[in-house]
Structure 1
Amino acid sequence: MSGHVEEPKKFEPRKPVQLDPPKSDPISLDYLSKCDGINEGYPTLVAIKRTVFDVSGNPAYGAKGQYHVFAGKEPNRALAQSSLKPADCVPEWEDLSDKEKGVLADWYTFFSKRYNIVGQIQ
């Protein structure tokens, strides 16, 4: 195959991660909001561009973690703008600059190499 370019490895996890096949189960915003790393019996979930990732195994998204602000939400704007402000943890991202949209796309790639996709926001 001449001319084939490999995807850059910059988002590869340091330790290989065995991921399950992605699921497309419908997930409501109400259910997502309960998956905030605090509610017992619920997984910890983060959505990016309507795709829901299970981050339960990473304490950074738990109650005392530095990224807890993202748990149970679809924080597209905050990720794109590298913000940890709760007010920025909203789904709207279409009006962002091309650079910020690129940052959000990088986060999506980063998450997809580390966390199982468990569904889609409905």
Structure 2
Amino acid sequence: MEPEAPESAEEAIREAFSSIKGYQLKTWVPLSVTFRNNTVHFLACQKRQKAFTEPAAAIHLVTITTGRLKPVLPVTHNSHTFRLTGKNELKETGLVSKATPELLSKWAKAGLPLAALPHSGQKDSEK
């Protein structure tokens, strides 16, 4: 008998995180979640055990995308943060912002894919 497919992206995230063996609190781990043939990569962290009154512990998530923060700005790697609540509600926890070098380093060390940035379109000056 095959396991039931998750009914929501939130359930898919929770199941993927729960399948991590030997997880330690407050450590960021790579997490790849596929739901309805769409795969999203995250760094995920559970900062504390669930409280007695909660159905599950919150999971903090960050993903990196490539794009422009504003139309006039260059294309950059941008971070987007979320929190999966104990009630399996996915909530944004901040604005999309340029990814820090530290976050990009963690992302790369975790082995998560990172889209290449396009070239600026400017030709190198000739010597």
Do both proteins adopt the same fold according to a TM-score greater than 0.5, normalized to the shorter chain? no
* TM-score of the pair, normalised by structure 2: 0.28
Using CA pairs under 8 Å that are at least 6 residues apart, name the structure with larger relative contact order, 1 or 2: 1
Q: Which has the higher helix share?
A: 1
Q: Which has the higher strand share?
A: 2
* TM-score of the pair, normalised by structure 1: 0.29
Which structure has the larger Rg?
A: 2
